[in-house]
Amino acid sequence: MTVVTLNGEQRELHEPATVEAAVLATGAPDGRGVAVAVDGEVVPRGKWATTQVREGQQVEVLHAVQGGA
Amino acid sequence: MTVVTLNGEQRELHEPATVEAAVLATGAPDGRGVAVAVDGEVVPRGKWATTQVREGQQVEVLHAVQGGA
Amino acid sequence: MTVVTLNGEQRELHEPATVEAAVLATGAPDGRGVAVAVDGEVVPRGKWATTQVREGQQVEVLHAVQGGA
Amino acid sequence: MTVVTLNGEQRELHEPATVEAAVLATGAPDGRGVAVAVDGEVVPRGKWATTQVREGQQVEVLHAVQGGA
Amino acid sequence: MSDIFEIAGRALESRLILGTGGFRNLQVMAAAARESGAELATVAMRRVDPSARGSIVEVLEEAGLEVLPNTAGCFTAREAVTTAKLARDALGTDWVKLEVIGDDRTLLPDPAELLVAAEELVADGFTVLPYTSDDPILARRLEDAGCPAVMPLGSPIGSGMGINNPYNLRLIVEQAGVPVILDAGVGTASDAALAMEAGCDAVLLASAISRAADPVAMARAMRKAIEAGHEARAAGRIPRRLYAQASSPEEGLAELEGGAPAAPERARSGS
Amino acid sequence: MSDIFEIAGRALESRLILGTGGFRNLQVMAAAARESGAELATVAMRRVDPSARGSIVEVLEEAGLEVLPNTAGCFTAREAVTTAKLARDALGTDWVKLEVIGDDRTLLPDPAELLVAAEELVADGFTVLPYTSDDPILARRLEDAGCPAVMPLGSPIGSGMGINNPYNLRLIVEQAGVPVILDAGVGTASDAALAMEAGCDAVLLASAISRAADPVAMARAMRKAIEAGHEARAAGRIPRRLYAQASSPEEGLAELEGGAPAAPERARSGS
Amino acid sequence: MSDIFEIAGRALESRLILGTGGFRNLQVMAAAARESGAELATVAMRRVDPSARGSIVEVLEEAGLEVLPNTAGCFTAREAVTTAKLARDALGTDWVKLEVIGDDRTLLPDPAELLVAAEELVADGFTVLPYTSDDPILARRLEDAGCPAVMPLGSPIGSGMGINNPYNLRLIVEQAGVPVILDAGVGTASDAALAMEAGCDAVLLASAISRAADPVAMARAMRKAIEAGHEARAAGRIPRRLYAQASSPEEGLAELEGGAPAAPERARSGS
Amino acid sequence: MSDIFEIAGRALESRLILGTGGFRNLQVMAAAARESGAELATVAMRRVDPSARGSIVEVLEEAGLEVLPNTAGCFTAREAVTTAKLARDALGTDWVKLEVIGDDRTLLPDPAELLVAAEELVADGFTVLPYTSDDPILARRLEDAGCPAVMPLGSPIGSGMGINNPYNLRLIVEQAGVPVILDAGVGTASDAALAMEAGCDAVLLASAISRAADPVAMARAMRKAIEAGHEARAAGRIPRRLYAQASSPEEGLAELEGGAPAAPERARSGS
């Protein structure tokens, strides 16, 4: 188990704790329209499956919403 | 007795019901700084003593106050 | 001959010097869209033929033009 | 002789070509109210006498004037 | 500001009234008139000029506009009343745009003469549309006198300064029981939109269109601007607020600093 | 102000860009978007919310608009740069509307952080459209940094105050070698027309439409206002003049006094 | 704007005229009056109230001010004329500040009634100072009627909005052959300065002083502001220019870059 | 706005700071300086000119003013920093009015270069008074950088346009923890009064005085205007209200119609 901060909340990820697993854990239906940053660095879609997230890292999974001028 | 409207109120004036009597009835200490209109016509100070007011006339006794731009 | 001021100019009108004659003298093709004032008084279309203009009168024959807000 | 650009003009300075010499060469009566930069670096008053200026250097001798908001 | 625009019981589709002064020629006038969508166009009464080519009345009617005579050039109630009667006789209409000018440099209306002329003409059965100053009291007196609309100015005729006193215009609109038509002063599209947003029912435009470099293009622009201002008022604009209102959600903001430096904290602390 | 409106070589028909913040829901947004005629709509990047219904990207694409991600909510260059990169990865576009906010009460941009972020993103191949203050020098620095357009504010986001400093906007337009897009502050139609008359190439509208009582009607009004302002500028407005210019012929005036009294003479004598 | 300020041949030192309405009591009024430097103060005519303590006339005279009766509260020419006659009989002055109000919400003057009252009072030998709108034509008619000064408003009495239509005020000043006294609307010092810079000969102030948090301090501020505006006009202000004018010498600039980088060159190249 | 005006712990009596650019000669400058009451006057640094007669420093000191060097004419942080150091060496003061210009046509400040220069000079122990734009965020960044006052512009140097964006000035004043000194743009007395009413602590004036037709008279007018604006703010101005507020008592009104006709009733009924 790896504990990370996923979109601001403490979450446990089962091994292998990849970015892809983190994305699924957010409940994003599929990855379309979604992007990920780990500790403030973007992890390109192509590397989700092969990028491990480590204990205590900050994972942000974002998508487009209404907003802004 | 003559009943007139003095500064908007029904007032009885003893005979002789002159403008001068009306002015006194308003409680104006003396006539200084005061002017009078009867039924919308000015009665000059000099004619107060000799001008009779008739039953039902409208007597206005005015003086200067704070006001206006 | 009757001399009048027609639209600001001295003009001689042959007898009978009617308003109608004055209108024609202005070169207005026909009376359509035209109105007449003699000495500042309007002479209705219906009375042109029967209204005489007298020596020295001021006859104005107007029509609509571009102008104004 | 050392040739420098003194306040924008080519000037020859006799040896020893010090900053002090340059200041005098500008015709500044005395050094009061004056400051000097050589190649964009300030040379404090205290070092004028001991600072040599080298061939081709840009010497600026400034003082306060009317100006600016 | 109702969505039916009626003057004296007569419904109008267009909220743009065209003044015909200043056009190079009748052809340009007609083209601009069509583009503007106007249904009414003002005309002046002048001495017959045999040399003049073409009848403005016919040209306007071909373009589908009706003629509204004005009393431009009159400096007294008497001149204006007589001119109105001449127009009625010449053009067969008892509608008149009443102008009584008080000064030939500013062409501002003369309040007292205007009121007298309006009362006389109303008594004589005219439908009187008075060109007035932006004085709210005068506008009410004209309405009291029986004018079925009031036409306050934004600024002097042909000045292109726009609306010099929006506050007075607002008072006029608030109090008016008849349509308010902005007359004179409009320089460009935003001025016309502003007038409609202020609650005017229509705008009269002459020089702003006729003297523009391209009158036909300006006519189209003005038509859109008047519709835009009228629709914007109906759509309910946002209030003016002193500070910003975020239009982006505050929740769901990512933490992307990876260790926030002082800068953003300071910034967020606001003032 | 040319009549082809291009950003970074991409031609746009519509001069209205839609901000999506503040709409009650996606349906209203889509209806207003259609009515506005916009081709581009900005979106913000936020944390995935599984409960959220409907994808804004799909709704906008159905309505025929393309998505332009913004960096709303970012207070530092670093946050903004990362957000832009996330948007590129999520949405497959290297266009970004760059916002770096300096204060959460006024949401005014931070000039220094903005410039840094713009330089970084341009270097990384982004097409950067920066939301900037109305400072003409900052606008030029952003253009010098490689931004293919600049987006000065009229007044704070959502304030509806309109254009607080028309003079600065004018300077920006005069000096700009890239399109100028007014961003933020518009409250109603005349504000948008004014921006176009000042020479802006386009206007970005969010709250003015989304928070109007009737967003769809306001979208239509704004579309007309922007066209009106743009066409009015092209049509060549009349100059502002201090005094009136008669729009009626001075010649051909009738003499209707039948003996002119003092009044009109006095009047005509002017001042 | 001459430097001697005379009304009807009477020279005045102070260009501030005080309105007495709105002061908490006569003591505050007297203190503010002294601080203001005013020589004239307006008073209203009302029914005798025996309970009232102190005579405003005596208090003003002690403070060295002369009384100028007004016709505040009158809505018709007839009321105003009678009130002026009563004031003459009560106070022994044939000067009157003429007010004929057209609406009790805005207290704006009624142009037609005002003109009638002015003509009657002038005929009766009064020195008539009319409170008028900012309509330049009405101002001229009042001058033509024999008023030795005109008192246009900046905005409604007590509104504190300042000068709503500086353009009209400018026209009034340009054309007037008598002193122009701004009356009503001033809110703070800069409004009063602005009026004097526009060429007014004096300013009448009531609420702006009497209802300020500290009337005495405001009286002092207004006195200075009126002097400042008057002196600034006489001193000849710099013209407004669209671009900057360097106030530092361009010659004698040092070369301090030690090899100028691109930045300053770009900057200097301007736009 | 406190009533003690202190910059970096140094108390100043006068809220007028004089810029010395634009005076015909040192004699006129000295006379205006005395009349203005200023205690500080800015000077520029330029190449020694042996032909120049008279030392500005001596003339100012005789007139009782202290010299505040500026960096007028600098287009980069580097030029400005070096100029400040030269001024310190020449004049023995570590105070500097920092100007870093971004464009030679508008002389507007360059925000990024200005911030860099301010940080460097503060680090070097200078008391930095930065000439800045009216951008509230930039003003805060300068305060954060350690500037003991900020000097936002009203409009470009020498333009005489006054305060182009009162809203931004208001934001700067609201948020500032240090004195705010309006710098540049003032044209006449009311502009200076307005700045003080907006809450500025002082005003810097150069062209407005030095290029006036009568600089000495304008100096006196400006001194009064600044005091007037400052005192008016302290005195608590009346609020702006949309409608009038009668300044005459409603009670005690006489009935003078002798049978009231319709007119006044209609009038009183208001709208």
In the structure, what pLDDT confidence band is assigned to residue E269 with cuts at 50, 70 and 90? very low
The mean pLDDT of C11-16, rounded to a whole number, is 87
In the structure, what pLDDT confidence band is assigned to residue H123 with cuts at 50, 70 and 90? very high
Residue F44 and residue A67: Cβ atoms within 8 Å? yes
For residues E3 and D65, give the distance between their C-alpha atoms in angstroms, rounded to a whole number.
67
- pTM for this model (two decimals): 0.90
Q: Under DSSP, is residue E253 helix (H, G, I), strand (E, B) or coil?
A: coil
Of E94, E153, E162, E147, the C-alpha closest to E116 is: E147
Q: Under DSSP, is residue H137 helix (H, G, I), strand (E, B) or coil?
A: helix
Partners for B (CB, 8 Å, 3+ pairs)? G, H
Nearest CB neighbour to F174, from listed G175, G266, G271: G271
Strands (E), chain G: 5-7, 10-12, 16-19, 40-47, 66-69, 95-98, 127-132, 151-152, 181-183, 202-205
The mean pLDDT of A8-36, rounded to a whole number, is 86
For residues E147 and E150, give the distance between their C-alpha atoms in angstroms, rounded to a whole number.
7
Note the residue count of chain G. 271
Q: Chain F partners of H100 at a C-beta cutoff of 8 Å? A: none
For residues E266 and H141, give the distance between their C-alpha atoms in angstroms, rounded to a whole number.
10
The predicted pLDDT at position E260 comes to 38
How close F263 comes to chain E (CA, Å)?
7
Nearest CB neighbour to C62, from listed F249, F254, F259: F254
Residue H111 and residue F136: Cβ atoms within 8 Å? no
Nearest CA in chain F to E235: F214
The mean pLDDT of E177-188, rounded to a whole number, is 96
Residue B58 and residue H252: Cβ atoms within 8 Å? no
Q: What is the largest CA-CA distance in chain D?
A: 41
Tell me the residues of C at the F interface, defined by beta carbons under 8 Å apart: 7-8, 37, 39-41, 58, 60, 62, 65-69
Question: What is the sign, positive or negative, of the torsion defined by CA atoms of F243, F245, F251, F257?
Answer: negative
Q: pLDDT for E203-230, tens place per residue?
A: 999 999 999 999 999 999 999 999 999 9
The predicted pLDDT at position H269 comes to 37
The mean pLDDT of A9-36, rounded to a whole number, is 86
Q: Say which range, B43-57, D26-40, F38-52, H70-84, has the weakest mean pLDDT.
A: D26-40
Which residues does chain G have with pLDDT short of 70? 1-2, 247, 258-271
The predicted pLDDT at position G1 comes to 41
Tell me the residues of E at the H interface, defined by beta carbons under 8 Å apart: 140, 144, 174-175, 266, 271
Q: Chain G partners of E112 at a C-beta cutoff of 8 Å? A: 111-112, 115, 138, 141
Residue G174 and residue F140: Cβ atoms within 8 Å? no
Residue with tokens 């709108």: G133
Which residues does chain F have with pLDDT short of 70? 1-2, 247, 258-271
**Mean pLDDT of all residues in chain D?**
88
How close B48 comes to chain H (CA, Å)?
18
Q: Is G68 on the interface with B (CB under 8 A)?
A: no
Is the bond leading into B16 cis (omega within 30 degrees of zero)? yes
Return all residues near G165 (Cβ < 8 A) that are at least 6 apart.
E134, E164, E165, E168, G134
E strand or H helix at G241: none
Of H90, H91, H69, the C-alpha closest to H80 is: H69
Of H248, H132, H109, H218, the C-alpha closest to H180 is: H132
Strand F95-98 relative to strand F127-132, pairing: parallel
The predicted pLDDT at position H258 comes to 63
Q: pLDDT for E18-36, tens place per residue?
A: 999 999 999 999 999 999 9
Q: Is E248 on the interface with A (CB under 8 A)?
A: yes
Would the pLDDT of C47 be above 90? yes
Which two tokens mark H234?
A: 């302290």
The β-bridge partners of G151 are: G131
**Mean pLDDT of all residues in chain H?**
90
> B-contacting residues of G 228-247, CB under 8 Å?
none
The ipTM assigned to this model is: 0.88
Tell me the residues of C at the E interface, defined by beta carbons under 8 Å apart: 7-8, 26-28, 33-37, 40-42, 44-45, 60-69
Is E85 one of the annotated active-site residues of the chain? no
The predicted pLDDT at position G247 comes to 67
Q: Under DSSP, is residue D12 helix (H, G, I), strand (E, B) or coil?
A: strand
Q: pLDDT for H191-213, tens place per residue?
A: 999 999 999 999 999 999 999 99
In the structure, what pLDDT confidence band is assigned to residue E247 with cuts at 50, 70 and 90? low
Which two tokens mark C6?
A: 């027609």
The predicted pLDDT at position D29 comes to 67
CA distances from F62 to F34, F96, H89 (A): 10, 21, 69
Q: Say which range, D27-41, E230-244, H59-73, H85-99, has the weakest mean pLDDT.
A: D27-41
The β-bridge partners of G19 are: G42
Q: Say which range, E59-68, F69-78, G68-77, H242-251, has the weakest mean pLDDT.
A: H242-251
The β-bridge partners of G41 are: G18, G67
CA distances from G161 to E152, E175, G165 (A): 21, 20, 11
Rounded to 10°, the helix F215-235/F26-36 angle is 20
Distance of CA E95 to the CA centre of its chain: 17
How many beta-carbon pairs under 8 angstroms link D with H?
A: 112
Strand E127-132 relative to strand E151-152, pairing: parallel
**Mean pLDDT of all residues in chain C?**
88
The predicted pLDDT at position F247 comes to 67
